[in-house]
Amino acid sequence: MIIELDFTGQVAICTGGASGMGLLAGQKLAASGASVVLADIDEEAVMREAEAIRKHGFEATGVACDVRDFAQVDAVAKLAIEKYGKIDILINACGGASSRMRNCKDAFRDRDPEIIAWGLDVNLKGTLFFIRACIGNMLDNKHGVIINFGSVSGEEGSPGCMDYAAAKSAMHGITKSIATLGAGKGVRSCCIVPGPVLTRPGMAGMKTAIGRAAEPWELVDFILYLCDDKHGGFITGSSHLLDGGRLLAQF
């Protein structure tokens, strides 16, 4: 059976929208009829990617945003509402391990507290800020889907980057909280928990029971299924592990 997804007339915000799964989700949503706002700290890249989507005949806007700054986050939400009239979908794809993003190789016991704070700000506070900025419009319109990104690191732990593991494990509680708040009000939320994904070469070396890392589209197609009211409309408050069997006890 071929599942056809139709997001015509809907408006989506994708954080981390200049690359990886945030960008791919934005591209696929736009190709399925949505008006898409790509938000990313890399202004040049996000503007370039939005322009590329428009060149294919779809609707997209790029905007620079540091997710640690609520004023910037709120400005993205207001831009979406002012330009497109509403917010239907929020995909919180922005994130990354502080040890990698900040090139920090020391043991956690010696970790600069500023780097720990950076990791919590980007991976936890940034997600909460975007939810805070967008959920009011969704509740008012009685329609919305929020997708949060956990990580297999939040399930198995990460002694080298505890702030990342903590933030990603927190996505379960955040997702359930949104689902409870939105119950009966047209607002749903789900959490995606990826294992290794080939958004960067280093992921290829992570072991899975299947024997490979995921292709980005394998996760993004599932995300869009969850976002589609026709197919995913009965799914909310749940976390979905897509790890290729990495966490299997016998593996």
Residues 6+ positions from 250 with CB-CB distance below 8 Å: none
Going from the C-alpha of 112 to that of each of 30, 118, 123, 159, the distances in angstroms are 41, 10, 17, 15
Of 15, 4, 8, 42, the C-alpha closest to 146 is 15
Q: Which of 89, 130, 164, 236 is catalytic?
A: 164
Of 206, 17, 176, the C-alpha closest to 93 is 17
Position 228, amino acid: D
Q: What is the gyration radius of the CA atoms in the chain, in angstroms?
A: 17
What are the tokens at 249? Answer: 């006890």
| Whether 225 is catalytic | no
The CA-CA-CA angle for residues 190, 130, 187, to 5°, reads: 40
Residues 6+ positions from 139 with CB-CB distance below 8 Å: 181, 182, 185, 186, 187
Separation of alpha carbons 123 and 151, rounded Å: 11
State the DSSP code for 202: G
Residues with catalytic annotation? 164
